[in-house]
Amino acid sequence: MNTANTANSAKRILQIESLAKTYGKGEAKTEALKGITFDVLEGEFLGIMGASGSGKTTLLNCIATMIRPSAGRVVLQGQDISGFGGKKLAQYRGRKIGYLFQEFELLDNLTAGENITLPLALHGVTAKAAASHIRVLADMLDISQVLDKFPSQMSGGQKQRVAAARALISDPEVVLADEPTGALDSRNSKILMDKLFAVNREQGKTIIMVTHDANAASYCSRILFIQDGCVFHELRRGMERESREAFYERIVSVMARLGGGSANVL
């Protein structure tokens, strides 16, 4: 898929069906997700926003299989992954999903290059076999100069772009990003989002991103706003006719309706 493809011609890659997650029992019972349903199209850049405690990170972690839902299904390319276990679950996590964390989660005793190839090593693929892919990612994310450096020798922005390369190295079907700009200043946030946008548009990579940052969200093609475990609102950006600045203004407007303005939407 490339930029010539439209939403009308894209196929569903992920289906979230009546997804629910409950914690605790009795008076301590908390419904984090209340039967959420939506589809994700191949090559889409989907943002998920909502107030703290709205269920957005729980939703992302159910898709990542870090959390098992109480009810409902997560279907990737026609396969219900909600009940995966053992080898099938390991293959899903290692091959189908890439995860980009807020706090980088790099291993301090490994170089950038070694951190990037770690997911491959866990599945028996050597760095030599993936050398060409590493070079392409390093060039795209502008981290070629730090591949031999350790995390302590890199800036925050470089660390997060290395983490992005690690999430992409296995060529996953979907990349999940949890507050990827949360630990970055505004300059490095823009650099990262420009790179992720390029990955989405030029490589057709499907990205699902949880964020509280309206600037980061303005790079998305669609945004779901989650409130109290349910989908509260949806925004779609007219990618060819609507500027990112105009989309940003619409995002901020919905965030204010969610409760108290953008500072309170986490």
Would you state the pLDDT for residue 9?
54
Whole-structure pTM value: 0.88
- In the DSSP assignment, the letter for residue 106 is -
Q: Among 224, 131, 207, 210, which Cα is nearest to 173's?
A: 207
Would you state the pLDDT for residue 215?
95
pLDDT digits 0-9 by tens, 221-236: 999 999 989 998 999 9
- Between 156-168 and 131-141, two packed helices, what is the crossing angle to 10 degrees? 140
Domain architecture of the chain: domains with CATH: 12-264 (3.40.50.300)
Q: Among 249, 255, 262, which Cα is nearest to 227's?
A: 255
Which stretches of the chain score pLDDT less than 50?
Answer: 1-8, 260-266
Q: How far apart are CA 44 and CA 6, in angstroms?
A: 10
